[in-house]
Structure 1
Amino acid sequence: MTDPVSRTMLLLDIEKYSDRDDVEQAYLRRVLYDIADRALERAGIDETRRLRADRGDSVMELIDANASVTALLRALLTEVPSQLHGYNRLASRSAQIRLRGVVATGYVAVDTHGGWVGSDLNHACRLLDAPLLRAALRERTDGFALCVSEGVHTGIVRHDHHGIPADDFHPVTVTSKNGPLRAWLHGPVPHGTQNHGDTGAGEAPVPTTSGDVPAPGPRTREAPAPPTPGAHAQPAPAAGGVVFNLGGSPRIGGSLVGGDQHGVSGGQVTGDVHLGGTTGEES
C-alpha cells in the first residue's frame, strides 16, 4: 500500500439507479461520466491530475491536492445543473438523471489491488449515502444536491468566493456508524429532517467562560427584621460593628459569646456578648 497522501475527493451518485433496466443503466453511466468530465475540465483539472474509481451508480475522483478546490466548486455549482437541464429536457422519463454530490478533502492511500483506503474517504462516502442528502435531492428542481465536508467549508466556502455564495450553504449533521458527521449542504435543508444545524434550543448552551458553572453574582444582605412592638428601634450594625442594646447585652457581628470578655489591650466587656443572631435570653 502506498503512503497516504492529501487529495480532494469528488463523489457523484445517480438517484434511483437500481430502478432502471440494464440498457438504461449503461446509458446513465455514460451520461454521468460525461457530466463529471466536463465539470472537471471547466475547473482546469485534466486527466493527469485525477484518478477515477467506478462504483456502478456512482463515480469517485481523487484529485491532486494542488488543484483549485475553489474552481472545482464553482464548476460544480454552474456546470452540473446546466448539463443536467440540457440533458433531461430531451430525455425520456425513464432516462432522467439526478445527482447527489460530495466534495471533501483528506488523506487517501492506494493498496496493491488499486483500492482506495482512508477514513476521510469513508466519511465522504457516508455523506454521499446520508438520508439527509437524499431528501435534499428530492426537493431540488435543478436535479443536483451538493454537500461539502467541514474542511472544505472552513478552507473555501466560508470565505464567500465569487460564484460560491457562503450564505447558500447550511450546516448539517448526519448520522453514521462512526457517529455524527458535520458537513455543509448547498441549498435549503430538507423539511422534516433532524439533527441538523447549529445548537438548538433544547441543547445545553456552550459556556462563555473558562468554567462550566457561571460566576457567582454579587452577594446580597438580608433585610433586618422589623422591631417588635414596644421595643426601641435600633440602627442596623455595620459589618463587624458593635451594637449595645439599651437594657441588654452587646452584640458583635455573629454568634453569642457568654461570660465576661477581656480584650487584648486590657479592656473588659461584662455580660453576654452576641456575635449576630438571637438567643432565647433576649428580652
Structure 2
Amino acid sequence: MDTDLPGTPGGAGTAGIDVPDDLLAAAELVPAGPTAPRGGPPGGGVSLARPLVYALPAEGPRPRTALVCFPFDLEEPPDGHGYREVELAVTFDDEDLCALDLRPAPGAGAGGGERVSVFGLGRNRLRWVFRAGAGRAGLRPDGRWTQALVRLPGRFTEVHGRLTLRAVLDHPSPDGDHERAEVRTRDEVPFRLARPDTWLAASLAPAPSEPGTGALAAFREPPTPDGGLPPGQHRLCYAVDIEKYSARDNAGMIRAQRALMRVVKAACAHAGVDWAGCGRQAQGDGYLLVLLPDADVTRAVPRLMAGTAEALAAVNAEGDHGGTPLRMRACFHQGIVHEAESGYAGAAVVELFRILDSGPLRTRLAEERDTDLVTAFSDRLYQDLTPHGYDGLSPAGFERAGISVPAKGFTGTAWIRSHPRAPDRASGRAAAPAGRNPR
C-alpha cells in the first residue's frame, strides 16, 4: 500500500503504530461566481476520501472490470446557510476507460425529497448531482458516496484521474430573504488507484446502502467456459467484523468502513504482511484477508493480533469512526482455500465465518465493555501455535468455547481472548501500545 500518494498524507497512529490515513483531500469551497455567500466562510468544505476499488471476477490473472467508489463528506456550512445542490465530477485520465454502470442511479431519492441526476454512462467523464427537495431544509451535510462500474483498458496496473466538487449554497441576504450562490473546490484533486489497493468483490449481498454494492448486485462477469476447479492452496485466513454495524446511519457506515480499512492495513504493516499479496474480500461490515501460501504463520498471527488491537485503539482515539467507537470481532483459521469466481471458497473459509459470527464470540464482546476487540482461534490453529510460545504467544487469556450452528449443521471448537483497552480511552487520549507479543 502506497501511503504517500500526491495529496494524500499518511497518518500516524497515536497508539504506537502507523495507521494509514484514508483522506485524499480536505478542500475549502470557494465562490464560483460574482455572488458570494455572506456571513462566514465561503461555503464550508468537503473531505474527499481515497477512492475504493473492488475488482470483479474475470477470466485471466488480472481483473478487467472494477467497481470504483468515491465517498465524500460535506462539512457543516456557516449558520444560516444550506446546501441546495452538490455535484461531484470524476474524470478518468484514460479516455478509453468506459463506465458501464453508475450509482446512485438517475432519479434515485432519499429522505426529504432529495433526488440524484447522473451523467457519463459509457464515458470517462462522470457527474453525480444531488438536489434538495422543496423547502428550506436543504441537503444533509454528511457522508455520501458515488460509484462507477468501469471496464478497465488493457493490463490493469493503475487508474488515475481528478475530482472536483461544486455546490449551490442557500444563504441569507441583507433584506432577510435568501439568495443562492455557487461554490466549488478551488483546484482539481488528483487520485491514483493502483492494483495492490483493490479488494476482491464478495459473493455476499450487503445492504444496498453500503458503498460498492448497488452495481455489484446488477453486474456479474460470466463464469469461465471450462468450469474448471481453481487451485486449492493451504492459506492462513483472517477475518474481522464490526459490532452493531447496521445500527449506524448511512454516513456512519461509510466512516466505519473507512476506519476498519485503516485498521486492517495498519495491522498488516505492523505484522510485516504483504498487503499487495494478500487476497482481500470486502464484506461491508468486515474484511477477509487470505495470506500468501508461504506466510510465516508463527509470526503473522500474533503480530496481526497485536497490530489490530493497537490500530483499533488509535482509530478510536482519533474519533473518526462514524459517531460510535469501533468494536470488533476477529478470527484466525487455516486450511485449503480456492479463489473462486466472486470470492474465496472452501471449508476453511466457511469455518472461519461460522466462528466469527458465533454466539460465544458475539456474547464475549457484548458483555466485556472494557474491550473493543475479541479474537478467536480455530481449534486447529490454537493447537498448532499456543503450546509453543511463538512470538510470545501463550495459552494465557484464551478460553475454550463450543460453537454450534444447528441450522448450518456445524459444530466446532474455538479459543477466545479479549484485548482490554487502555483505561484512558474515555479521556480522548491514545491507548498505550498493546505490545508486540500478546499474552
Match of 1:74 in 2: 302
Q: Describe the SS at the equivalent of 1:94.
A: coil
Label 1:76 to 1:141 Cα distance change in 2 as closer, same or farther (>3 A).
farther
Label 1:49 to 1:157 Cα distance change in 2 as closer, same or farther (>3 A).
farther
The answer to whether the aligner puts 1:54 opposite 2:282 as a matched pair is yes
Are the equivalent residues in 2 in contact too, given 1:29–1:57 (CA < 8 A)?
yes
Q: Which moved more, 1:1-10 or 1:179-188?
A: 179-188
Shift of the alpha carbon at 1:63?
Answer: 0.7
What letter is aligned with 1:155? D
Are the equivalent residues in 1 in contact too, given 2:271–2:307 (CA < 8 A)?
no
User: Hey, what's the Cα distance between the residues in 1 that align with 2:244 and 2:283?
Assistant: 14
Match of 1:229 in 2: none
Match of 1:129 in 2: 357
Alignment size in residue pairs? 187
Aligned partner (choices 368, 386, 401) of residue 157 of structure 1: 386
User: Hey, what's the Cα distance between the residues in 2 that align with 1:76 and 1:163?
Assistant: 13
Are the equivalent residues in 1 in contact too, given 2:376–2:416 (CA < 8 A)?
yes
Aligned partner (choices 389, 404, 413) of residue 182 of structure 1: 413
Shift of the alpha carbon at 1:140?
Answer: 5.0
Match of 1:218 in 2: none
Are the equivalent residues in 1 in contact too, given 2:281–2:287 (CA < 8 A)?
yes
User: Hey, what's the Cα distance between the residues in 2 that align with 1:86 and 1:48?
Assistant: 23
Label 1:47 to 1:179 Cα distance change in 2 as closer, same or farther (>3 A).
closer
Shift of the alpha carbon at 1:17?
Answer: 0.3
User: Hey, what's the Cα distance between the residues in 2 that align with 1:142 and 1:70?
Assistant: 25
Which 5+ residue runs of structure 1 have no aligned equivalent?
189-283
Label 1:187 to 1:96 Cα distance change in 2 as closer, same or farther (>3 A).
closer
Match of 2:110 in 1: none
Q: Describe the SS at the equivalent of 2:231.
A: coil
User: Hey, what's the Cα distance between the residues in 2 that align with 1:187 and 1:45?
Assistant: 23
Which 5+ residue runs of structure 2 have no aligned equivalent?
1-228, 420-439
Are the equivalent residues in 2 in contact too, given 1:103–1:152 (CA < 8 A)?
yes
Match of 1:120 in 2: 348
- Cα deviation digits, residues 91-150 of structure 1 (max 9, x gap): 278331011000000111122x23221111101111010011011112152300000111
User: For the pair shown, which has the larger CA radius of gyration, 1 or 2?
Assistant: 1
The answer to whether the aligner puts 1:143 opposite 2:372 as a matched pair is yes
Are the equivalent residues in 2 in contact too, given 1:52–1:62 (CA < 8 A)?
yes
What letter is aligned with 2:265? D
Are the equivalent residues in 2 in contact too, given 1:6–1:108 (CA < 8 A)?
yes
What letter is aligned with 2:336? Y
User: Hey, what's the Cα distance between the residues in 1 that align with 2:402 and 2:410?
Assistant: 10
What letter is aligned with 1:116? Y
Label 1:77 to 1:5 Cα distance change in 2 as closer, same or farther (>3 A).
closer
User: Hey, what's the Cα distance between the residues in 1 that align with 2:289 and 2:312?
Assistant: 19
- Cα deviation digits, residues 183-210 of structure 1 (max 9, x gap): 111249xxxxxxxxxxxxxxxxxxxxxx
The normalised TM-score by structure 2 is 0.41
Label 1:77 to 1:110 Cα distance change in 2 as closer, same or farther (>3 A).
closer
Are the equivalent residues in 2 in contact too, given 1:39–1:72 (CA < 8 A)?
no
- More strand by proportion, 1 or 2? 2
Shift of the alpha carbon at 1:85?
Answer: 2.1
Q: Describe the SS at the equivalent of 1:46.
A: coil
Label 1:110 to 1:77 Cα distance change in 2 as closer, same or farther (>3 A).
closer
Q: Describe the SS at the equivalent of 1:165.
A: coil
User: Hey, what's the Cα distance between the residues in 2 that align with 1:136 and 1:162?
Assistant: 25
The answer to whether the aligner puts 1:108 opposite 2:334 as a matched pair is no
What letter is aligned with 2:316? N
